[in-house]
Structure 1
Amino acid sequence: MTLTRRQLLKTAAGVSLAACLPLPLLAAWAAEPAPANTLPLAIHSEGGPHRLDVEVAETASQRQRGLMGRKNLPEARGMLFRFESEQPAGNAFWMYRTLIPLDIAYIDGEGRIVAINTMPPCESDAPQECPSYPAGAAYHAALEVNAGYFAERGIQVGDCVSVPALAGFCRSE
């Protein structure tokens, strides 16, 4: 998930404050969240359209939480992170408290995949020890799916993503 230095500091402070919370309250915060409503999404590649149902993270708090705490992600599911404005190439996602390995595709304003990374779970309890995964190119959205999903389907940089319900991104050529 994308974090600025300010958000990283807030998160680190929040983790320190969490140690002061009563155990039942802390357990409720850390519990696996219920899946949100989903939207259909299609990735158009040489292998044909690949369809997913995605949860959409549009608010700062939804993007910060992401897929943290999930023990699994069904095969044809994912999470789409949408941003109000273009994100710089150096903005990165990380895997703090994320339990499952993920692939991430960064998507530009035209709906084209501009970068793909595989992100293993971070096993550290210290957020500062978790690596980050920058896009390396400007992007407007990011799509997280199970690790290996893109490679298994031949999805690559340059392929396009469409979200019909949001009237967003590119259409199949």
Structure 2
Amino acid sequence: MAKKKTAQGGPTTAATQALVKSGIRFVPHAYQHDAASTDFGAEAARELGVDPARVFKTLMVETDAGLGIGIVSVRDQLDLKALAGELGAKKAAMADRAVAERKSGYVVGGISPVGQKTRLDTVLDDAAREFETIFVSGGRRGFDIELAPADLLAAVGGRMARIRRS
């Protein structure tokens, strides 16, 4: 049986379903994921032929105020202290892999900020302002979606702030 595809041509995932339902425009980009790869963002940039500065990774953190999401470029590292402050917490640590998968509904390496099982407070790094469109996971390994930063924020109810490490 063939896998379902969106009207835009990409696979149907919780992320693409949420974007279609919200009327948010996006461009799907599928590529062949190498099962041996563990640097998912760098792989996406390489396989899609896109500047790594435009490819953003979705990271779940655990804080004293609960779970949250930070979205930063794959060229950068997340500043946990800055994200904690944005989430109204004193400190943050990366969430356990099993927690991230359970709460998001996606597997690590394919965690999309859009269409997560549990909607969490989300912050997009302000480096996204540099680009008309950015790439984030579309909900599975080997699949990214391209959309405007403002549309991403609208889709997740998030905000933008500097959360990358200097």
**TM-score of the superposition, structure 1-length normalised?**
0.27
**TM-score of the superposition, structure 2-length normalised?**
0.28
Structure with greater proportional helix content: 2
Structure with greater proportional strand content: 1
Query: Of the two, which has the highest radius of gyration?
Result: 1
